[in-house]
Amino acid sequence: MKFESGSPPDTSTDLLFALCCLRSHFAGCIPLVTLLPLARTIRGGATVSQHRKSTTALTGLIVAAVMASTYLMGRADERVGRPFSLANPAHAADQAAGVGSNSIVPDRYVYYPGTEVLAEKEVRVIACGTGMPDQRLAQASACFLFEFGNGEKLIFDLGTGSMRNIASLMIPYEYLDKIFISHLHTDHWGELGALWAGGWTSGRPGPLQIWGPSGETPEMGTAYAVKHFQKANNWDFQTRAVKITPIPGQIEVHEFDYRKENEVVYERNGIVVRSWPAIHTGDGPVSFGIEYAGMKLVFAGDTTPNMWFVKYAKGADFVIHEAFANPAKYVEIMNQPPQLSWRMCCEFHTSGPSMGKVMSFIEPRHAVAYHHQQELSPSVKEGIRQTYDGPLSLATDLMVWNITKDEITERMAVVTRFANAVEGPTPQPPPEKGRPPLFTKAIEAGEWGPGFNAQNAMLDEFEKQFGLENEDWRNQKPWYEPDTK
């Protein structure tokens, strides 16, 4: 832009207004004292040269302020598509105090599924089940979803009731096909049927894949369990295979030796999953270590304190570990007999004080306690704090953690109770030709034509809309009476 001599451009008001807005937006990160000389120069009788110098200085100050405030407000972790995340809680409170009556409140407390793109070196962990075997509306049984910045998604345990929380996240089922099972109690894998069939009927194009431990004998291992799951659900599989497509109903099992220490059981796309033995009710359970982007995350499953955990979880960035309350609480609220309560919490599970002792030894950046009723969290926390004073979350369903090398943020997911499946990029295969129908002629002959023909007008419109003229299943039916109007 060319300036006329003696007539500085009328931008002083705009520049001052922009700078004041910038200072206000960043909650005072720009010291006011640095603005006063510039303000006097701009608002006074400045020459063109002085104005240019002031404008240059002001521009540089704005750029520096943006860079500094970006660092201070947590943007240095390269989070893509996410709102500012304040590194300083006091600063956060100050900013919240300045929100106007018709302004957007900073998203510090909640996560809206499907609205954030993870940075490449970021991990998001969502608690899809944190409770006990008798799952409740408030808490499903054990299940944690790990989402990685490279697009991978891994499910660790799939306890009863957890499918509803998984579905509420509205993730295409194409991506929810990898499950890691810590052990074969139903509160850790009992929701397999819901994900298997629910994902199949909601567009998953390929088989489920399951990683799980062997047992002391073959019939105590994951492969045996899944094989007999498939046998028990054979009618389900065969009927859906005919009417939908068989491929998504298949399950691929990757069984590994539960006795191996820190053994790599999965290594793909920059993610390494390791396994080591856990001690819980009998041989077979394992804990998992997950390595990604220079970080180590740990999912303990169910375990009592053991030498493998304190060895291989040492120095982890993020650790999920069970923690039970004082045994008297289970007598009180679960009607457990005392002889069971004190063994349940403290012999074949881990109590709060024991979990705290483990965390004090391994010193994670952040610890998460789960596997207890939410109303027992005060008792659990009291026990943990007897032996551990580090960063801690008491998990409940739909709690969310975003994890980078620099920061760990805890929030709660806000979901709809009426979430429907979201379509993925890969279409599901069509029905397999040549599969014989599963009806006998005697049963098929019982179809009542008038009931079926009542829907012809609706189906004719649908057929035309989607070009299904060559796939009209009604032509094969003896009762079909086309609408000739």
User: Residue 400 pairs with which residues in a beta bridge?
Assistant: 126, 411
Q: Is 167 within 8 Å of 398 (Cβ atoms)?
A: no
Q: What is the phi/psi pair of residue 412, to 5°?
A: -120, 140
**Do residues 86 and 229 share a domain?**
no
* Token pair listed for 193: 């049927």
Question: How much is the pTM?
Answer: 0.79
Burial of 448 (0-12, 13-18, 19+ CB in 10 A): exposed
C-alpha to C-alpha distance for 235 and 241, rounded to whole angstroms: 10
**Do residues 297 and 242 share a domain?**
yes
Q: Which residue has the higher pLDDT, 85 or 417?
A: 417
CA 362 to chain centre: 25
**Do residues 134 and 195 share a domain?**
yes
In a domain, 427, yes or no: no
Give the mean pLDDT of 67-91: 36
Q: What is the phi/psi pair of residue 365, to 5°?
A: -65, -35
The DSSP result for 180-244, as a single string, is E-S---HHHHTTHHHHHHHHHHTT--S-EEEEEE--SSGGGSHHHHHHHHHHHTHHHHHHHHHHT
Residue found by looking up tokens 């304040």 in the block: 86
Question: Residue 190 belongs to what domain range?
Answer: 111-413
Q: What is the DSSP secondary structure assignment for residue 29, as one 8-state letter?
A: -
C-alpha to C-alpha distance for 368 and 391, rounded to whole angstroms: 9
Cα angle 75-79-80, degrees, rounded to a multiple of 5 = 120
Q: Which residue has the higher pLDDT, 482 or 484?
A: 482
pLDDT at residue 336, rounded to an integer:
87
**Do residues 284 and 178 share a domain?**
yes
In a domain, 196, yes or no: yes
pLDDT at residue 330, rounded to an integer:
86
Q: Which residue has the higher pLDDT, 125 or 1?
A: 125
Q: Say whether pLDDT at 166 is over 90.
A: yes
* 430-461 per-position pLDDT tens digit: 888 888 889 999 999 999 999 999 999 999 99
CATH number for 320: 3.60.15.10
User: Residue 370 pairs with which residues in a beta bridge?
Assistant: 322
**Do residues 237 and 317 share a domain?**
yes
Helix (H, G, I), strand (E, B) or coil at 302: coil
Which range among 62-71, 141-150, 320-329, 390-399 shows the weakest confidence by mean pLDDT?
62-71
CA 108 to chain centre: 17
Helix (H, G, I), strand (E, B) or coil at 101: coil
Q: Is 459 within 8 Å of 474 (Cβ atoms)?
A: yes
Give the mean pLDDT of 76-105: 49
Domain count for the chain, please give it.
3
In a domain, 428, yes or no: no
Give the pLDDT band of residue 485 (cuts 50, 70, 90). low
* Token pair listed for 185: 């109690």
* 333-377 per-position pLDDT tens digit: 888 899 988 888 888 899 999 999 999 999 999 999 999 989 999
Burial of 45 (0-12, 13-18, 19+ CB in 10 A): exposed
Q: What is the phi/psi pair of residue 356, to 5°?
A: -60, -40
**Of the candidates 365, 345, 348, 367, the residue with the CA atom closest to the CA atom of residue 356:** 367
C-alpha to C-alpha distance for 51 and 445, rounded to whole angstroms: 92
**Do residues 235 and 247 share a domain?**
yes
**Do residues 351 and 409 share a domain?**
yes
User: Residue 235 pairs with which residues in a beta bridge?
Assistant: none
Q: Which residue has the higher pLDDT, 254 or 69?
A: 254
* Final residue in a domain of this structure, among 84, 108, 132: 108
* 221-230 per-position pLDDT tens digit: 999 999 999 9
Helix (H, G, I), strand (E, B) or coil at 457: helix
* 179-216 per-position pLDDT tens digit: 999 999 999 999 999 999 999 999 999 999 999 999 99
Q: What is the phi/psi pair of residue 195, to 5°?
A: -70, -40
* Final residue in a domain of this structure, among 108, 139, 155: 108
C-alpha to C-alpha distance for 186 and 363, rounded to whole angstroms: 31
**Of the candidates 63, 192, 132, 90, the residue with the CA atom closest to the CA atom of residue 341:** 132
C-alpha to C-alpha distance for 392 and 318, rounded to whole angstroms: 10
**Rg of the chain, C-alpha, whole Å:** 30
**Do residues 209 and 313 share a domain?**
yes
Q: What is the DSSP secondary structure assignment for residue 436, as one 8-state letter?
A: P
C-alpha to C-alpha distance for 68 and 66, rounded to whole angstroms: 6
**Do residues 381 and 286 share a domain?**
yes
Q: What percent of the chain has pLDDT over 90?
A: 69
Total residues found in the chain within this entry: 485
**Do residues 92 and 193 share a domain?**
no
Q: Residue 234: which residues within 8 A CB-CB, separation 6 or more?
A: none
Cα angle 428-429-434, degrees, rounded to a multiple of 5 = 150
pLDDT at residue 389, rounded to an integer:
97
pLDDT at residue 24, rounded to an integer:
39
Q: What is the phi/psi pair of residue 399, to 5°?
A: -75, 145
Give the mean pLDDT of 314-326: 95
The residue type found at 206 is G
The torsion defined by the Cα of 388, 393, 397 and 402, in degrees rounded to 10, comes to -140
pLDDT at residue 4, rounded to an integer:
34
C-alpha to C-alpha distance for 431 and 440, rounded to whole angstroms: 20
In a domain, 1, yes or no: no
Q: Say whether pLDDT at 220 is over 90.
A: yes
Q: Is 393 within 8 Å of 399 (Cβ atoms)?
A: yes
* Final residue in a domain of this structure, among 62, 90, 108: 108
Residue found by looking up tokens 């299904």 in the block: 468
In a domain, 306, yes or no: yes
Q: Is 312 within 8 Å of 261 (Cβ atoms)?
A: yes
**Do residues 258 and 380 share a domain?**
yes
In a domain, 423, yes or no: no
C-alpha to C-alpha distance for 306 and 160, rounded to whole angstroms: 27
Q: Say whether pLDDT at 2 is over 50.
A: no
In a domain, 426, yes or no: no
In a domain, 484, yes or no: no
Q: Residue 353: which residues within 8 A CB-CB, separation 6 or more?
A: 383, 384, 386, 387
Give the mean pLDDT of 293-305: 97
**Do residues 144 and 256 share a domain?**
yes
Q: Say whether pLDDT at 89 is over 60.
A: no
